[in-house]
């Protein structure tokens, strides 16, 4: 059944799916692996029951927390929209043209991803003291996924305007 659904998806929508999935994976990688122990260099503090763990990807500064979650929600929304568009027995009346909604959701992924990276760069003069390498990996995945999804959605939107 999945192959039948995938066959109905256009090439541009497939790129949106790949980009949204890549952005979602980047957010998850950042949430899980971009943490460090901030108390490691302080003698006698140990870990303080996990209180010293700092996640550089989701830290709540400008561009942190809320934009990470918004990027993840927008990526999941793009995946759900493409599924609902091609799923059998789904007769949805979209409030606006489908390609226009998909472009807005994919654009939101990209904007949130860029705001996350800019917020991280602004905080503490760069990424702060000794950020983990997975912070950079997560940043690249989220921005690349958002850019791919937004570009493909834009191409789908322009193709729908011509017809």
Confidence (pTM): 0.84
| Arithmetic mean of pLDDT, 56-69 | 69
Q: What angle do CA 150, 151, 156 make, to 5 degrees?
A: 95
Domain, as residue range, for 143? 11-162
**31, part of any domain:** yes
How far is C-alpha 33 from the geometric centre of its chain's CA atoms?
A: 15
**If pLDDT is split at 50, 70 and 90, which confidence band does 39 have?**
low
**44, part of any domain:** yes
Ranges assigned E (strand) in the chain: 35-37, 53-55
**72, part of any domain:** yes
**2, part of any domain:** no
pLDDT of 107 > 80? The answer is yes
pLDDT of residue 87: 87
**95, part of any domain:** yes
**6, part of any domain:** no
Q: Are 109 and 152 in contact (CB under 8 A)?
A: no
pLDDT of residue 63: 45
Number of domains in the chain: 1
| Arithmetic mean of pLDDT, 21-31 | 93
CA distances, 154 to each of 15, 84, 151 (Å): 11, 19, 5
**5, part of any domain:** no
Q: For residues 90 and 93, what is the distance between their CA atoms, to the nearest angstrom? A: 10
Exposure b/e, 93-122, CB count within 10 A at least 16 = b: eeeeebbbbbbbbbbbbbbbbbbbbebbee
Q: Are 82 and 54 in contact (CB under 8 A)?
A: no
**1, part of any domain:** no
21-25, 34-38, 134-138, 155-159: range with lowest mean pLDDT: 34-38
């Amino acid at each position: 059944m999945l192959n039948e659904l995938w066959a109905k998806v256009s090439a541009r929508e497939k790129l949106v799916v790949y980009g949204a999935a890549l952005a979602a994976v980047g957010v998850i990688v950042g949430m899980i692996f971009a943490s460090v122990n901030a108390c490691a260099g302080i003698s006698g503090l140990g870990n303080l029951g996990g209180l010293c763990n700092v996640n550089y990807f989701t830290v709540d500064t400008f561009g942190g927390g809320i934009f990470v979650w918004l990027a993840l929600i927008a990526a999941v929304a793009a995946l759900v929209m493409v599924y609902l568009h091609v799923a059998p027995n789904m007769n949805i009346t979209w409030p606006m043209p489908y390609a226009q909604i998909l472009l807005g959701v994919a654009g939101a992924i990209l904007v949130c991803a860029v705001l996350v990276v800019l917020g991280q760069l602004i905080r503490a003069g760069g990424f702060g003291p000794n950020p983990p390498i997975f912070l950079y990996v997560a940043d690249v995945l989220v921005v690349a996924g958002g850019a791919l999804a937004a570009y493909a959605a834009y191409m789908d939107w322009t193709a729908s305007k011509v017809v």
